[in-house]
Each structure stands twice: as C-alpha cells, then as structure tokens.
Structure 1
C-alpha cells in the first residue's frame, strides 16, 4: 500500500498548530512561508478535507484538522524514536539492558536512578530481575546481567559499595515470643522460623544457607512480601530488612529483643559482570546508580 501523505507533511501541520501561525512555524522549521502554505494545501488536497482556517493573523485547525492531528502526533513521535534508536544502535548503544537486584536491596536505590537514566535514554529498555543467594552469584558468574546488585562480592569480579541493609527479627504481637522481655537462641528452637528461599539452582543446599537456621520447624516462602504476611498472621518469627519494615504498618508486630542477634547488617554492592564488554547504555546506568549511592552514603 502506497501512502498519499508523508511524515514531513504531518510535522508541518503539528508545528503550525504549536506556533499558531504559518509564519512562526516557518521560522521554527527554517523553511519559507510559501513552502509551508504549499505543503498544507497539498495535504488538504490529498486528504480531501480542510485542515486550517485563518482567523486574523492566526492559523487555526479545523475540527477535521484537530481530529487528524490527534492521530498524527503519536505517529510522528514514534518516527522520531525510531530515528533516535537507529542512531543509538549505530553507535553500539544497547536497545535493552538487564539489571539483577538481590532481594535484600532497597528497591528505591534502583528505581530512583533508573528514572534519571530513562529521561535521557529513550531508546534503551530495561529488564529488572530479582535474585537471592545462589541466583545472585550466578547472575554475575554466568553474565546473566549487564549490571548486578549483589550482597558480598563474587570471587574474581570487581564490586563497588552500594549500601548496607539492616536485618531485624520480628514477630506478631500476638505470638508467644512477643511476650518475652529477653530472648536467647534456645527460645527460638521450638518456634516456627519463616525464611525466604534461594531463587537459584541449588546444587548443594548447605552452601546456600545464611544466618541462624536451627528452628525445628520452618516456613519457606518466595519473597519478603510473603514473609511479612506470614509474620502478620502470627505464624512465626522472621528477619526482615529494616527498609521494608519502615514502609509497612508495624503496629501489630514486635522487634525481638534477641541476645546477640537483635540486628545484623548485609553489605550491598554493584557489579558489572561483563566487565570491559559492558555496553555504553549499561555503563551510563551504572554511573547513575553509583552517583545516587554516593549521595546516599554522604548523607549518612
């Protein structure tokens, strides 16, 4: 199918509508007044409708012109995005990058910089995948991500400090443990412990365990959302990231006064699994992430 009209014609109509006059639009497009009049007249002939009427010194779209322009504007925007994407691809800029984030990390630390990145990188899409334990490590070793937000650095891969997450043991206020003024590890042995499972492929489960796991009964869930729901229902105790607790209504839970374990901290790091092969878009996002981390840590 051969189109009667061109994107340039629609762009001309858009500029006339924005500028309010043909003369002003001609100046913005760096074209002559006569050229724009000819382009609009030709577009009207091709479509068989009147697009513009003159009111004094202003060029005003007709109702038909307004209706057509509403449909034309997103098409012109998409054409501009295609040209931008083509330009980026010609420079080796990735059309899509993958970021993995360990489930312990505060998600604000990721999405705030992503917002800044997307504002100046319209041609690049981002895949975000959550990891934990072995899958966090595998994302780096197997180069499953362009940028990996991890806990401890992976052997032989460079990592940059990104923040620290504090883990707090909590329990429902209606749970028997909540009635104790002081708790030791022996008090936990007969209680149900809620833990978040490893999201990776586990070859040796013993190597993936982290922290105190001596309770005789466990409830294992996929993520901290489920863990919180289980704690809220009084099913057992669980260690949750402090930043998650800060975003929730914690009036019905209690922090456990656990001797020797009331809180512990997990360091979070940034890593570039592909090292020198990291593309320019991923490198740019990495810099946004690092700059945001530096601002956060400077304010501590």
Structure 2
C-alpha cells in the first residue's frame, strides 16, 4: 500500500496545529481518524514518526525529516492543482513580447512583475529587436504583443508613448570643443555609432552622413562606446538618463536636428482574438508607461 497525499497532509497538520485534536479540527475529521492515519503511516514506513511525551506528540528525528519532505510534497501538489486550473480556464501557457530596443525597460519590467503575481504559470518570452526585426516578429507570428515605432500593413496599433532622441557624445569628445553650434558637416568628420537592424531587410534610420561609422547590435553597446569617447549618436533620452546625470554623455549643440521624436505603438498580433491574459498584460503595460 502506498502512502497517500492525505496521510502526508495529516502528518503536516498534526505538527502545524500542535496536536491530534487541533489537527482533526483543521482537517474537519475526528481525532480517531487522524490518529489512525498517522498509525497507518508509521506502519507503512516501518518507523516511528512521533513519540508521546506526556500528552504531547513530538516528532522523532526521522519524523522531522519526513515532515519537511511532506511540506514540499504538499506544496508541489498545490502548485500542480493550480496549474491545472490555470490551463482548464483556457489561459495561455506563454506570452511572447517583441520590443524595439528603444523602448524603456523600466515600465515594461514593472508591468511584467505585476502580471507574474497574478499569473505565475504563464511563461514570458521577451524578444529585443531593432527596426525591421520588430516588424518581422509580428508578421511571422513570433510575438503576441509588439511595441514598435511603426505599424506594419495589415495590423493596427494604439499610440503608447513618444520617445525623444537627442544627439550626444562624451564631454571630452572633439565635437564638444567647438565654441559654436555644430553643423552636419562637423558631424560628418567624426565617427557615428549606429545600431544594426535585427531584421532581414537591414533598414537604416536617422542621419547617417558620417564618413566614419561603427555599427553594433545592441543599444547598450553603443551607449558604452559613446561613454568611452568613441563616437557620437542619437539616443532615446530615457535610455541615457543615468549617463547624462553622471556626466558621461553631454548633448551636442547642433545647429539643427539636435532632437528627434519617435512615436511608439502597442500592437496586438490578433487584436480581435487576443485572450484575456494578453489583453490584461497590454493594459498593465499602458498603465505603467502612463506613469512615466
């Protein structure tokens, strides 16, 4: 005869409640039923789980080890039951998000954290993309939620936020040594830092007039290069707030084009068929972005 989950539950109840009588009350059973369950458990294991000291049942050394294991077993059983209930309700097993790398991480991570509290069993896959790579994640069905600066044909998106881009370089960069507003001709003579399109179309964006150019795959690498004085670039202001505050980057005094704006859109791959879970996560993202 195998030991049942109910017997392990009885063992834990006796310990947690401090005795057979209170355990019986907590389990809505008679005290004799609780006593019998523990007796059968000990017979099956071939060891004593409790020893009686006066009127109190105290765990033996073996009982202490079994109690800890029983707690873990019951927790796993509860999680399994919750997982089954989650899927039986029609909820999704995973949600995939594709975010253009210009999207600020903080509100997205806050939204995901809140979502995880409500839906701990949903797996989240986060794909960081650049330019056409974001479009392709949507078109190829690789993401249910997409945040992008463009809405591909055939999809609809809701405005999420406006990103301000500013041209910057390290304070010691030669471009900061001019005692006048900078022209695009001045920029052309210095190295520009560019982020590679992660999609197959390899699109370009922004001003690309410099004769010298370094291309990297992620915005964090580009920002690090700029902080080391290796070039200039336009970055989302929210992405470089810390570097600006610490004096690692400084806005370039351009004659024109020192700042640009990009509108970000929240796009659901199947806007009309999106599950309640996907819609709830999208709503949390909108709420967190609105707090910026």
Looking at structure 2, the residues matched to 200 and 12 of structure 1 have their Cα atoms a distance apart, in angstroms, of 58
Q: 1:60: Cα distance to partner?
A: 4.4
- 1:142-168 superposed Cα distances (whole Å, 9 cap, x missing partner): 221111122233333222232232222
1:73-152 correspondence runs (5 A):
73-152=71-150
TM-score calculated relative to the size of structure 2 = 0.89
Deviation at 1:291? 2.9
Alpha-carbon distance in structure 2 between the residues aligned to 1:39 and 1:245: 63
Structure 2, unpaired ranges of 5+: none
Cα distance in 1 for residues equivalent to 2:220 and 2:20: 58
Which residue number corresponds to residue 229 of structure 1? 224
Deviates more, 1:21-30 or 1:267-276: 21-30
Is 1:193 the counterpart of 2:229? The answer is: no
Tell me which residue corresponds to 1:14: 12
Give SS of 1:276's match: coil
CA distance in 2 between counterparts of 1:57 and 1:257 reads: 84
Question: Aligned partners of 2:205, 2:235: CA distance in 1, in Å?
Answer: 13
Deviations 1:237-281 (A, max 9, x none): 012222222234632332211222222222222111022332333
Aligned residue number for residue 252 of structure 1: 248
How far does residue 73 in structure 1 lie from its aligned partner after superposition? Answer: 2.6
Tell me the number of residue pairs that the alignment of Structure 1 and Structure 2 aligns. 290
- Confirm or deny that 1:261 pairs with 2:287: no
The equivalent of 2:47 in structure 1 is: 49
CA contact (8 A) 1:195 1:227 kept: yes
2:220 is equivalent to residue 215 of structure 1: no
1:282-297 mapped onto 2 (5 Å cutoff): 282-294=278-290, 296=291
Contact 2:108-2:288 within 8 A present in 1 as well: no
Q: 1:17 to 1:185 in 2, by over 3 A?
A: farther
Q: Is the 8 A contact 2:134 2:148 kept in 1?
A: yes
- Answer yes or no: is the 8 Å Cα contact 1:143–1:274 preserved in 2: no
Once the two structures are superposed, residues 87-126 of structure 1 have per-residue CA deviations (whole angstroms, 9 ceiling, x without a partner) of: 2222221111211111011111211111111112122111
TM-score by length of 1: 0.87
User: Are 1:98 and 1:146, in contact at CA under 8 Å, matched by a contact in 2?
Assistant: yes
